[in-house]
Structure 1
Amino acid sequence: MMIWVILMVMTAAAVMAVLWPLSRSAAVARQVDPNTQFYRDQIAEIERDRDRGAMLPEEAEAAKAEAGRRLLRASGLRDHEALAVGEPALRRRRAVSTLALSVLPIVALAVYGAYGSPHLLSEPPGAQLRQDAGKLDLDTAVVQIEAHLAKEPQDGRGWDVLAPVYLRLGRIEEAVKAYESALRYLGRDAGRLASYGEALVIVHDGIVTADAQAVFQEALSLDASSVKARLYLARAAEQDGQVEKAKSEYQTILASAPPEAPWRGFVQDQIARIDGNQGGSAPAMREQPNAEAIVGMVQGLASRLEAQGGSPEEWARLMRSYVVLGQRDKAVAATKRAREALAQDAAGLRTIDAMAQELKLTDTGP
């Protein structure tokens, strides 16, 4: 409400700034005309000369009569000019006043709507400020921690704090490195290992690679109740084609979950999805609305590589895509075909072998 009071006061000030010069014209109009004042002064002087005896009474009366006639003519001319000019001027002043009172507020509101922030008026007081301050505080904190770690790179606590923040900001690769530094300087804690493994999964587009699986296994060896590690290992089993093992692990996790556990719904959804997709392909992708488009792109890539060949990176991308789609048999076949196509490319074969190891396609050797 206060903002509208301020806007009204500012608008009133702008209107007064326009009307003030107009109001002065009336005061000027009421000033004495210098011509008529001259003749009045002349008549007064004649009377003083008569009283002093400088002029005869007859001469004084004649002079006063002549000055009086000139005074009347000057007064009549001024009245005539006022009648001729005053009315149009009055109309002009009224028109300008009307415009000032109506147009200025409208223009002010239009300009505020175009260049101001009227949407802030509909938000709770301080809401936008708190939102901006929160983002600013987070960015500022990250910069400060980064500056500190640049001077003290062995501060494991700093890396441990920074890693999840990087993950939240979408800086996944930096999060992976931060977790590695935290593990190096603080030790291999089960919770920290599970979070590090999660970052590895995210950076590899949702695939639980061999490295990530080893990290989750280590986390479980330190804490058998680590739900995060168990969930990702269940996903790894499903990606490896061991669907029944994955389902059994999900059921075990669900059976030991407290009633208020926030991840109960997720585990139930995974079990229902596996039950609904038994015997089908691409179980992990069917829930996604753009699954058909993704499958189509993968098929197009496979057809082009089969007909024209391609780079090691393209073959590796095809292998990864088949694993994400849950089509592990096709991923194995693509790996063998890539090795055949790149038989004369030692560097390319190393790329394929590295991807096969990452995806745990260990049964694809020649």
Structure 2
Amino acid sequence: MLLWIAFSLMTGAAILAVLWPLRTGAAVPAASTAEADLAVYRDQLAEIERDRASGLIAPAEGEAARTEVARRILRVSAERGREGASSGDDRRRRIVAVVALLGVPLLAGGLYLSLGSPLTPPQPLAQRLEAQPDPSDIAILIRKVESHLEANPNDGRGYEVVAPIYARIGRLDDAARAWANAIRLLGPNAQRETGLGEALTARAGGVVTGEAKSAFQAALAADPNDPKAQYFLGLAAEQDGQTAEAAQRWSALVAASPPDAPWLGLVGAALTRIGAPVPAPASGPGAADVAAAQSLTPEQRDAMVRGMVERLEARLAQEGGDIEGWLRLMRAWTVLGQQDKAKTAAGQARTHFASDSGALGRIDALAQELGLGS
């Protein structure tokens, strides 16, 4: 009810604003009064002419009297013309007033019915934030998480959720701060450390700063095979002028990656940029190999698989830093029934990763699973 009262008052104010300039001034002489005056003046002219003809007044006096009466007739005629114009103006004012009285409410009501609804409740920002947001409305989602974190500043998971969103929309300072809080509250891991390093690098315009480099090194300590950490540490080496170290890191990353790894194009371009050769990705049966194996005899198929395993073994003997490759080699020799070669592969892997407790734990766990002993 209050809404409609407010609408009525606003409509009345709008109509008054339109009608106020149309108000009329003082009243003009009525048509009947003007006609009566003209009749009197005409009689006076006739009387003056009769007096002049009978010689009751001198010719000069008669001409002066006739001129004065004629002047009065002209004045009354002019007033009649203004009265007619005023009547036309009044008619136009009345038309505009009618249009204002009817048109303004009708126009306002039509616009409201088409664009608004009296049944729709108000939706202030606080209520919209409490409601279930549209997944596409990133601003609302971010604001919800920020409100949650203001009330729960020790929720590390909340920082971990919002940090990559900050990075995607370009809020790099907030992204770095969120990743740092997630690491502080949840502890370091490869994903959090690389997220922090990427945010710091992006904030510096693509330069791997000392703080970012420390984050990538922490990520690599948590997961020696993390491709992002390997790539950005190679980039840091390139930016420091250590192209040999950059080439070594990137070559090892390519060699340890599967053929369909999404980062191979980026790393290959980086190797080309510093003039280093691009090695082949980790070997494995491709679609053509699988199709060819279907038409082979069991003996030929066994020889094909053995050849692939031997190529993997040869690559690891040269490079050795691919923990995933060593684990695949141990499994492959076990599947082929070559337990001795599997044990040898496990021993060589332990030698390469003697200072890496995490890698040694994975090697020992797989060796126990495959029955290779310690």
**TM-score, normalised via structure 1 length:** 0.38
* Larger-gyration structure (1/2): 2
